[in-house]
Amino acid sequence: MTELERALRKLQRKHTVSRVAYRYLSGRPLSGKPGYPYRHRGPGRLAGWQRQVIRLSVPATAALAVAQPEQVGSLIGSAVLVSGYRLRRRFTMRRFNREYVTPTLAALVPAMGLQTGIRLHVDPSLGNLTPRLAKPLSPAEKAVRLWYGENAEPIIRWLPERAQRAAWAAQRQAEPITSRLAVFRRPADPDKGPRIELTANTPYLTREQRQLVSSIVGSKIPVADLVETWHQVGPRVTATWTVRKRPPSRVGAEQVAANLAGLAEWEFYIGQGAGDRPVTLSLRDDSPHIAVSAGTGAGKSVLAELVAVQVLNRGGRVVILDRKGSHRWALGLSGVDYCTKPAQMHDALVRLAALADERNTLAMHEAEDWDPGPRVLVIAEELNATIGQLVNFWAEARGKGDPKRSPAVSALADLLFMGRSAKVNVLAIAQMLTARAIGGPEARENFGVRCLARYTANNWKMLVPEAAMPRASRTLGRWQIVIGGQATETQVAYLTVAEARELACPRSPGTSQVSGLSSPAGDFLTLRQAVEAGVLPWTYEATKKRLQRGVGEVPEARGKQGNADLYTREELAAWAGKTEPA
């Protein structure tokens, strides 16, 4: 048998009636060419399913035309409507692709080093991409559109609107049954929305290539505030750009009260982030100290107030170093030491450093989970000016033999280095938190939580150079909370003066949070707290000796806080006033 005869027999076996019929019905090429795409367009410009629909619908339509001639007209009308809709959509997408997709692909091909295997999808609903393609109308076009909207469109839309209302009514009637089927539905991706998707048939792209691709996409497709995600696991590289989700425009006392009850003692609620998710800070896990840097009027004092009222609500103390009086809400509150003069700030910082040192010394001889006492929050307002005032005060007040450096500045640095175990935390506020403003670059590194608003590029690079800088928001109360190089856009909760003072009180009106005690002021102190607050004029050791010896009218213990006895402020003050000085 010759080669020609063998080829002819092979061709006959390949194109048998059964095989050709199968190819016709399944939408495969009649030539039998393997590897055709069924779901996507192939070299023949039609996908397999499209060829299958055409091959099956044409004979069916012809048979129906012979059997039921009266139905042909309605079918042809429906086909014309569907074809017109698809043609109009294709025409619109053709303009869209010609304006955005095709030029972007032409720029990406040399950047990625690939001639084929690049697919780009741009959602037309992103930003104002589609409205940008609209051209201004002439007076004649406006008149035609006006006539169409007033006369033709109401008639055309009457039947579709009635059908849609009937469908909605049917859905409402069937809701008791359809709602039970929700358990069988798979959860939808909450982040699924308008996006730009790029797929490249290459296993890896270098960092420089990815940066170049991002630059090209951002330049050719004018959509702002996009979040970029790269996926390089597997045989293909996929990049996705989605619209950045924004936090709510306002957060108030209701959200603070709702979130406060479920937090631990070292956790603090700040506000709501993207997707209306609560944002919290941990002074045990994230950082013992908080840095706040923002321009004038950005809400620095509001953020500090929010943290302070939560400390007070849990029975802690707040020391405010504020020269200009930004925290009037705290005036007269129990547990607050408000220092407005350089001398008061100097003494308060020195005492706090001594307290932290004493707590750390005691902790060496206690169990690992030993509680040193109530948390102390130090709010240092406008450090750019406060440090200078403390330096000038010490230059005037220091005597012969005193150190040249201000003890208050040294005490602040000590608090930054040893505040975690002592539960003494610093919230430093400055318009620009330079190293000089905080006492040196090594002291500034103790701030693991950094909050920025209305920032400049220089300020961002100085404080959080490891995090990508997002665009600064003009929304009042909108902050970037940066922890571990990750920036979280947050709408900080705003409290009025009345709401702040109410939240700073114990959770139950008139009731202290320790040992279930109650008093008109809800104010109970241990001996150490009384000495630190200045209620008792003696040192802590002298106070314990006076109590043991029964000097004066010794107050009666009213409860316990850990292992320490609690006394009312009034009785302690009366004891100090009626006791002769040592």
User: Encoding tokens for residue 129?
Assistant: 């991409």
Q: What is the pLDDT of residue 485?
A: 82
49/349: higher pLDDT = 349
Rounded to whole angstroms, the Cα distance separating 88 from 85 reads 5
Whole-number Å distance between alpha carbons of 236 and 289: 44
Strands 424-430 and 376-380, by their bridges, are: parallel
Which DSSP state fits 245? P
Q: Which residue has the higher pLDDT, 240 or 578?
A: 240
- Which of 30, 12, 13 shows the shortest CA–CA distance to 21? 30
User: pLDDT value at position 554?
Assistant: 86
* Class of the domain covering 83-134+192-244: alpha beta
Range ranked top by mean pLDDT from 121-135, 195-209, 464-478, 530-544: 195-209
Answer yes or no: is pLDDT of 11 > 90: no
Q: Check residue 305 and give its pLDDT.
A: 92
Percent of the chain that is helix, strand, coil (3-state, to 5)? 50, 15, 35
* Confidence at residue 535, expressed as pLDDT on a 0 to 100 scale: 83
pLDDT at 561: 66
Q: What's the chain's average pLDDT?
A: 81
Query: Average pLDDT of 210-225?
Result: 88
What band does 470 get if pLDDT is binned at 50, 70 and 90? confident
Strands 267-272 and 486-492, bridge-based pairing: antiparallel
Q: How confident is the model at residue 170 (pLDDT cuts 50, 70, 90)?
A: very high
Phi, psi of 454 (to 5 degrees): 50, 45
- Among residues 555, 556, 559, the alpha carbon closest in space to that of 515 is found at 559
pLDDT mean over 42-63: 76
220, 104 in Cβ contact below 8 A? yes
Token pair of 468, please? Answer: 């990508």
φ, ψ at 158 (rounded to 5°): -60, -50
Across 233-244, average pLDDT = 89
Higher-confidence residue of 565 and 86: namely 565
Percent of the chain with pLDDT over 90: 14
Quote the tokens at residue 1.
């048998």
| Residue 362 banded pLDDT, cuts 50, 70, 90 | confident
| The pLDDT of residue 277 is above 60 | yes
pLDDT tens sequence across 178-203: 888 888 888 766 666 788 999 998 88
Contact 487, 494 (CB under 8 A): no
Query: Which position has the higher pLDDT, 187 or 306?
Result: 306
Place of tokens 């200045």: 534
Average pLDDT, integer, range 273-286:
85
Q: Is pLDDT of 238 > 90?
A: yes
Q: Where are the domains of the chain?
A: 3-67, 83-134+192-244, 253-503, 508-578
Asked whether the predicted pLDDT for residue 240 surpasses 60, the reply is: yes
* Residues 416/441, Cβ–Cβ less than 8 Å: no
Residue 465 reports pLDDT greater than 70: yes
Higher-confidence residue of 315 and 435: namely 315
Q: With 80 as the cut, is the pLDDT of residue 509 above it?
A: no
More confident residue, 170 or 37: 170
Question: What pLDDT, on the 0 to 100 scale, is given for residue 581?
Answer: 44
Residue 453 burial class via C-beta count within 10 angstroms: exposed 0-12, middle 13-18, buried 19 and up: buried
Residues 239 and 226 sit within 8 Å (Cβ to Cβ): no
* Residue 414, helix vs strand vs coil: helix
- Percent of the chain, pLDDT > 70? 87
Distance separating alpha carbons of residues 217 and 500, to the nearest angstrom: 47
Q: Is the model more confident about 59 or about 517?
A: 59
pLDDT band at 299 (very low <50, low <70, confident <90, very high): confident
**Residue bearing tokens 């299958």:** 52
Report CA dihedral (481, 486, 489, 495) to the nearest 10 degrees: -20
Q: How far apart are CA 51 and CA 55, in angstroms?
A: 6
The CATH number for 253-503, chosen from 3.40.50.300, 3.90.1150.10, 3.40.50.1100, 3.90.1210.10, is 3.40.50.300
- Return the structure tokens found at 58: 């044409």
The pLDDT confidence band at residue 517, using thresholds 50, 70 and 90, is very low
pLDDT on residue 469: 83
In the predicted model, is pLDDT for residue 515 greater than 50? no
Query: What is the pLDDT at residue 306?
Result: 93
> What does the pLDDT look like over 61-106, one tens digit per residue?
777 777 776 666 666 666 676 677 677 777 778 888 889 999 999 9
What's the predicted TM-score (pTM) here? 0.60
pLDDT for the residue 439: 64
Confidence tier at 143 by pLDDT (50, 70, 90): very high
| Distance in angstroms (rounded) separating the CA atoms of residues 234 and 517 | 63
**Which of these ranges, 32-46, 442-456, 495-509, 515-529, has the smallest mean pLDDT?**
515-529
